[in-house]
Amino acid sequence: MTSVVKRFFMPRSLHPGAWWGWAIGCAVVASRTVNPILLGLLIAICCVTVQVRRTSAPWAMAFRMYLYLACFIIVLRVGFRVLFSAAGPTVVLRLPVVTIPGLPSVRLLGPVSAEALVGAGGSALQLAAMVVAVGAANALANPKRLLAAVPGALYEWGAVVVIAISVFPQLAESLVRVGRARQLRAETGKGAHLIRNVAMPVLSDALDRSLILAGAMDSRGYGRSAPVSPATRRATSALLILGSLAVCVGAYGLLDTGVTPVWAGASMVAVGVVVAVAGLKLSGARAHRTRYRPDPMAAPEWVVLGSGILACVGMVVVSIAQPLVAYPPTQPLGVPPVSVGALLAVLVLLVPAALAPSPQRWPSGSVTVTADHAPDRQPLTLRGAPR
């Protein structure tokens, strides 16, 4: 029994899909409410989870940027509200009305009411919570492992993105080399010369290197596809085309709620998604993958994913059963109501912070060595090395 528990909590990085599933769950929960208390709780949960479960990888450090972006969205949205129209019963600030000459129907600024501010703040907080959730997924999931989990149908395009991410640091190195060559030639040109003498050599260098890389890839079997029978190929294309058509028609049906019932559109979308996923699956047969370094979907992954799904379902139920909790009215002003069900639906998302195994942490006082050519490998730790 203890060995099962020990194995569950063994420090390791989870399958990136689990974290993305959890984060999408957070975003769906946010999309179903504008209650500031619930949204604030959701943002706090995302922050806590990131703080507890992130590594020190560069992508994990970018979470702060998403928080800044969320703040910017709130300021922008409330600012637009004040600029365009914020009239209401409880006026808190009187601003002069500005009209644009020649356009009397457009009036800017004017009185600012508390109701308008609360309403704009609630919907801004909704968008901000979604951004924070996506930022949390970015911080918690390793993007390179996510690319390794790309379905076989998109194998080529996953390879392209991997090349792009690996080549990215080489561009800086190429820039340094061109700069050194210019120094040796004692070139001092500025402005437009800089583009001709620096940018163009870097570009040509990158293009030449890409052909060398292609040769290397060809000789190692990248970009090769397994033989597929023409019948399979035809079936794949048919599934892909039918799936995308069904999704489009279904989405149109969902929008056009006046004529078609919602269930018709939704079921059409669902059928389209199923057909399309079948097409992707069939199309993936041509890509052969390595069986080394698998990313398992084990119990901890299912716990993380399950908390996201549970919260989604809970919040959808709450938004239908208790619309006053999910979408509290802004008039009259007051503390937005909360219910036990709504709180539980949001608090389920806190489970991964407690139950997901912690990522590998390296003890202080040891030296961590990361090979430059393989930054995605686990860093090598030398214990007891001098500080």
Partner 1 sequence: MTRRAPLTLDDRPVPLEWKSALMLTVLTVAGLGMFAWPLFVAAPSPSGLGDASPFIFVALLPLLIFLVLAQISEKGIDAKALAILGVLSAINAALRPLGAGTGGIETVFFLLILAGRVFGPGFGFVLGCTSMFASALLTAGVGPWMPFQMLASAWIGMGAGFLPNRLFGRWVRGKAEVALLVVYGIVVAYLFGAIMNLWFWPFVTGPSMGADAQLAYIPGGPLLENLTRFAWFTLITSTAVWDTGRAVANTVLIVLVGAPVLAAFRRTVRRAVFAPDIEFVQP
Under the binding rule (CB under 8 A), the answer on residue 200 touching partner 1 is: yes
CA distances to 161, 162, 171, 212 from 166, rounded to whole Å, are 9, 6, 10, 15
Under the binding rule (CB under 8 A), the answer on residue 54 touching partner 1 is: no
Nearest to 122 by CA among 176, 164, 183, 81: 81
| Nearest distance, CB of residue 365 and partner 1, angstroms | 32
Report yes or no: 357 and 12 within 8 Å, Cβ to Cβ.
yes
Under the binding rule (CB under 8 A), the answer on residue 22 touching partner 1 is: no
Q: What angle do CA 255, 258, 263 make, to 5 degrees?
A: 65
Under the binding rule (CB under 8 A), the answer on residue 187 touching partner 1 is: no
| Nearest distance, CB of residue 290 and partner 1, angstroms | 17
Nearer to partner 1, 274 or 385 (CB): 274
Among 61, 176, 181, 203, binds partner 1 (CB under 8 A): 203
Footprint (CB under 8 A) of partner 1, residues 31-50: 31-32
Footprint (CB under 8 A) of partner 1, residues 259-298: 261-262, 269, 273, 276, 279-280, 283, 286
Footprint (CB under 8 A) of partner 1, residues 60-119: 62, 65-66, 69, 76-77, 80-81, 84-85, 87, 103, 105-107, 116, 119
Residue owning tokens 């397994």? 226
Residue owning tokens 């060559």? 181
| Nearest distance, CB of residue 34 and partner 1, angstroms | 8
Nearer to partner 1, 165 or 309 (CB): 165
Footprint (CB under 8 A) of partner 1, residues 154-173: 154-157, 159-168, 170-171
| Nearest distance, CB of residue 355 and partner 1, angstroms | 25
Under the binding rule (CB under 8 A), the answer on residue 153 touching partner 1 is: yes
C-alpha 308/C-alpha 329 separation (Å) is 27
Amino acid at 338: V
| Nearest distance, CB of residue 277 and partner 1, angstroms | 9
| Nearest distance, CB of residue 364 and partner 1, angstroms | 30
100: exposed, middle or buried (Cβ count in 10 Å: 0-12, 13-18, 19+): exposed
Report yes or no: 232 and 285 within 8 Å, Cβ to Cβ.
yes
The token duo for 3 is 């060995």
C-alpha 127/C-alpha 122 separation (Å) is 9
Secondary structure (3-state) at 97: strand
Report yes or no: 239 and 225 within 8 Å, Cβ to Cβ.
no
Report yes or no: 34 and 123 within 8 Å, Cβ to Cβ.
yes
Nearer to partner 1, 162 or 355 (CB): 162
Nearer to partner 1, 80 or 362 (CB): 80
Cβ neighbours, 10 Å, residue 89: 11
| Nearest distance, CB of residue 248 and partner 1, angstroms | 4
Footprint (CB under 8 A) of partner 1, residues 219-238: 222-225, 233, 236-237
Among 12, 75, 180, 218, binds partner 1 (CB under 8 A): 218
Nearer to partner 1, 265 or 352 (CB): 265
Cβ neighbours, 10 Å, residue 188: 8
Footprint (CB under 8 A) of partner 1, residues 330-359: none
Antiparallel, parallel or unpaired: β 380-382 and 367-369: antiparallel
Q: Which range touches partner 1 (CB under 8 A), out of 2-10, 90-98, 152-160, 373-381?
A: 152-160
Q: What is the DSSP letter of 257?
A: T
- DSSP lists the bridge partners of residue 368 as 381
Footprint (CB under 8 A) of partner 1, residues 305-334: 320
The token duo for 133 is 């959730």
Rg (the chain; Cα; Å): 27
Nearer to partner 1, 96 or 258 (CB): 258
C-alpha 93/C-alpha 78 separation (Å) is 14
Under the binding rule (CB under 8 A), the answer on residue 143 touching partner 1 is: yes
Q: Which range touches partner 1 (CB under 8 A), out of 5-13, 240-248, 301-309, 348-356?
A: 240-248
365: phi > 0 → left, psi -120 to 50 → alpha, else beta; which? left
Under the binding rule (CB under 8 A), the answer on residue 51 touching partner 1 is: no
| Nearest distance, CB of residue 226 and partner 1, angstroms | 9
